[in-house]
Chains A and B, each alone.
Chain A
Amino acid sequence: MTNDRTDPGGKLDELRRKYQAIEAPADTVARAVLAAEANVRPHGTLRLAYVGTALIVGVLALLPFMTLRDAAPDSVSMLPSLTAVSRAMPAKPTVSIPSLGSIRSVAMPVMPKRPAPTPGQDTQSYFDTDDGSDSNEEKTYELV
């Protein structure tokens, strides 16, 4: 006995020895292990149900892939892969796109500038076209 637990009259020590002689029943280990396995691990039937459920779920999960494979042609492996197709394609388009400035220069004719009418000039004669016709006059065309 150490100082912090002085034995009053030796009776405590005697009782301690008797107490420490108490042993657990012989089947304690077996009981503990059996109880543990029974509680933690599933029983045979239950285990079978787990396996069955897992198999069904697995087959259901694979079903879409299996259907696609059946529907695909036998020569599916002969098709070129996407990588091969992309490699066969040129990296840049060969047709050069014209610039906006060049399009404008080709498509839009430049109108010749006319000098502004001088003060006192007859505006009617100013707006008359070069061919002598009045620009405000409605033109008629004959069908040939």
Chain B
Amino acid sequence: MTAGEESDDDLVRRFKRGDIEAFETFVRRHQDRIFRLASVWLYEDQLAPDATQEVFLRAFKGLGSFRFAAAPSTWLFRTARNVCREFNRKPRAEQIDDELRDNAANPERQTKRQQTAQQVRELVADLPRRQAEVVMLRVFEDMSVRETARAMGCREGTVKALLHKAMNALREKMNPKESMA
């Protein structure tokens, strides 16, 4: 968000008054982040577009009664995490049609995205779930410690501790010789 842009809070307030354009702006602002997270968090990253759509569908339904206890973006990240968990629990058969449709959209670009998402997923795959989330939000999404803590529903100190452990584990994984020395 740049200086001249409306804040997320203002957009949500406008949306609560029935302004659909405010919702579109909100989606446009957060779609890439949500999509990237979905690409990594989902076991089947071809479902990322559907998961992203589901996240914003829930936002459309839920932001109407949003009370600003947390930032709208924090709420959105938590929703994305929940949606991805639900998608991961879905039976595979229900996802085939979506996968075929998404593969047909832009094969080259999708392959590149899948490769990157796969690299990130492999990097954090061995980490405990909470550590992987911290790495995703703090390192890859470049969120502040405070934002990460609110998105994960924990204290800032917990985020720092989890990140410290996760970075040590990643260091060992990426440079095994250096960590041995």
Contacts and interface: CB of A to CB of B under 8 A. Distances in A.
Interface of A: 4-6, 8-9, 11-12, 15-16, 18-25, 28-29, 31-33, 35-37, 39-40
B127 interface: no
A104 B167 CA distance: 110
Contacts of A18: 116, 119
A135 B60 CA distance: 108
B32 A29 contact: no
B56 A19 contact: no
A35 B54 CA distance: 8
A32 B57 contact: yes
Interface string B142-162: 100100000000000000100
A12 B53 CA distance: 29
B47 to A, nearest CB: 12
B131 to A, nearest CB: 12
A15 B174 CA distance: 12
A51 to B, nearest CB: 19
Q: How large is the interface on B (under 10, 10 to 19, 20 to 34, 35 or more residues)?
A: 35 or more
B117 A22 contact: yes
A40 B36 CA distance: 26
A5 to B, nearest CB: 5
7 contacts: A4-B145, A16-B140, A20-B140, A22-B36, A25-B35, A32-B52, A37-B60
Nearest to B30: A24
B60 A24 contact: no
